[in-house]
Amino acid sequence: GVGASMRFDVPACGVPGRPPCKATAHVQIQVFCPPYVAPEHGWVQYKGARHRHGETARTPAAREYWDIGGVKQPIAQEGDIPAGDAVELGCDKHFRLSGASDGSDAPQCLQTGVFEQGQRCIPVMCDAVNPPLNGYAVPDGAVRAGETVSVFCDEGFDEVW
């Protein structure tokens, strides 16, 4: 989105003994990004406010646009984030951020009005359980954090703790 403020300086002019009138305008344009969408199985935080995946920082409204030099720029709305500001990402229990090669853990709103790529939330994986001699584990492969693995003894063998 774009926010703008305008100031006009009109000098005293147009009277005998004064220079001809010439007005100048100063336009300041500030770029904004729409609220960041939290990753699935995670949350986004900005200035102390935290929103989970599926929640929004504000109720979306139809965007209005300004035509600036033939380029349509969305007009900033309440809840938009100024260019240069960053949001913080985090994940639910048993999930973790996907890593720096996948994006940022604190995506920044760029001067283009979009956020840089953010990381995803991926499951925390645990190695397979090494079953005891004369026993087996179910499931027998890697599992997600929080999942249960059961260990059983082969027929004719009992648990010994």
The amino acid occupying position 44 is V
Phi-psi region of 17 (alpha: psi -120 to 50; beta: other; left: phi over 0): left
**For residue 66, what pLDDT band results from cuts at 50, 70 and 90?**
confident
Neighbours of 81 (CB within 10 A): 22
Fold that domain 2-123 belongs to in CATH = Complement Module; domain 1 (2.10.70)
**Which residues does 69 contact at the CB level (< 8 Å), separation at least 6?**
none
DSSP secondary structure letter of residue 139: S
* Residue pLDDT, tens place only, 23-54: 677 667 788 999 999 999 999 999 999 999 87
**What was the pLDDT predicted at 11?**
56
* Higher pLDDT among residues 47 and 61, named by residue: 47
Q: Are 59 and 52 in contact (CB under 8 A)?
A: no
Domain ranges of the chain: 2-123, 124-161
The amino acid occupying position 17 is G
* Higher pLDDT among residues 161 and 30, named by residue: 30
Q: Both tokens of residue 149?
A: 């693995």
Q: Is 41 helix (H, G, I), strand (E, B) or coil?
A: coil
**For residue 9, what pLDDT band results from cuts at 50, 70 and 90?**
low
Q: Is 100 helix (H, G, I), strand (E, B) or coil?
A: helix
**What was the pLDDT predicted at 79?**
84
**What was the pLDDT predicted at 106?**
98
Residue 59 has pLDDT above 60, yes or no: no
**What was the pLDDT predicted at 84?**
96
Which residues face 81 on adjacent strands? 33
* Residue pLDDT, tens place only, 73-127: 778 888 899 999 999 999 999 999 999 999 999 999 999 889 999 999 999 999 9
Q: How far apart are CA 41 and CA 13, in angstroms?
A: 64
**Closest by CA position to 28, among listed 79, 77, 88, 76:** 76
Residue 147 has pLDDT above 70, yes or no: yes
**HSE of 34 in the Cβ direction (CA atoms, 13 Å)?**
13
